Amino acid sequence: MSQIKNTVNKTREIALRSLGLKPLLRDREKLDTTNIRQAVTVELAAELRHYPLKSSLIAYPLWLFLGFSGGHRFYLGKPISAVLMLITLGGLGIWWLIDGLRLLRLVRKRNSEQERREREGDPPLGLEFVPEIDTDISNSTPHWVKERGTFSRNTAYVFDCVAVAVLCLALGSIALSMEMYEPLFSAFLITVLFLGGDYLVRFFHVPFVHELLCVDYKLKLYYFYNRPPNLLVLLFRPFFMVLGAAFSKKTRIEMKLYLELGGIFAIPFILLEVAQWVAEGMSTDILDGIVGRILALYAIVYLFTCPLGAIFVKQELKGYSARKMWFIGIEVIVLLTGSLIVGLV
């Protein structure tokens, strides 16, 4: 593990110096925003393009303390089964115990597959969708972006604004009908974080921010090499992925990225629900209600908040100006705030 870390650190240092930057961002040097964003992109690329192995010394504490919410499976790169553990509270403890007995085997199996990929020159686990892992996309244009006239670009932008409005109104109506405001807060948060990317990168080494930027970068990589659908289809993409995951490996990879993104924003609210249940004495009388609420919460975040993040990623890849991005972001914030006011009144 130490050799791998040393190799990654050297790769980062060389890449950062090629940009005229110092190797470590955590020293908080006074860099301008453009250089910081470039440095973070290089660091993310360095992290994703090596072949990291998982440690049982990390997996076991995650299983012990966060196992009921699937923490160890998220760590091992199994977001689908992790989400199942999360919404069933570790299979009511049974799945959690079984995983404890076979956790070492899971770690070894995952590391064995990673080592095989490195030997054969395949992309690392989690980047199966990237044909050339050494390609830098930071200053590249996706092959599916076509040159359009001003009228065509403006028409597409108006359509994007309408699609985002439909998504926000649907999210607001469903959340209010279920008296569940957490998905609205998560959608509001993901909008603020994507719009504030230039400031967010300054906190790259903060765990939550780091995970968000990693998933964002992987989603950009995925849609860079795989043409995303138009926004109307993208709104319903989570439904289609559930139906098509059993038949398409590419769909399963995209679904895993959505689940990772959804997990980042849903897990804090879900842990609050579990903490409330524990504080109330872990009564079995309300357990069904807690599990049902957790399931509904994650489903709404996955179905509505994740497409919103994907929309921002697609807009960035299409080269939208900051002004256009901010207009759509403000549109989202206004609609979500209106839904919250209606619900509270």
Which tokens sit at 279? 């504080």
Query: What tens-digit pLDDT sequence spans the chain (345 residues)?
Result: 455 455 545 544 544 444 444 444 444 444 455 555 666 666 777 777 778 788 888 888 888 887 877 888 888 878 778 878 877 877 888 888 998 898 999 999 999 988 888 888 777 877 777 766 555 566 677 877 775 555 567 787 888 888 888 888 888 888 778 777 778 888 888 888 777 766 666 676 776 777 777 888 888 888 888 888 877 777 788 888 877 776 777 787 888 888 888 878 777 777 777 777 777 776 666 666 777 777 778 788 888 788 888 888 888 888 787 788 888 888 888 888 888 787 666
168 and 31 housed in the same domain? no
Q: Which candidate, 332, 21, 304, places its Cα nearest to that of 192?
A: 332
Q: In the listed set 120, 148, 166, which residue is the last one of a domain according to the structure?
A: 120
98 and 160 housed in the same domain? no
Which tokens sit at 118? 């490195």
Containing structural domain, residue 214: 156-344
Angle, alpha carbons 245-292-311 (nearest 5°): 45
pTM for this model (two decimals): 0.70
216 and 336 housed in the same domain? yes
110 and 160 housed in the same domain? no
92 and 184 housed in the same domain? no
Residue 225 near residue 129, CB atoms below 8 Å: yes
Q: What is the 3-state secondary structure (H, E, C) of 289-344?
A: HHHHHHHHHHHHHHHHHHHHHHHHHHHHHCCCCHHHHHHHHHHHHHHHHHHHHHHH
17 and 93 housed in the same domain? yes
314 and 247 housed in the same domain? yes
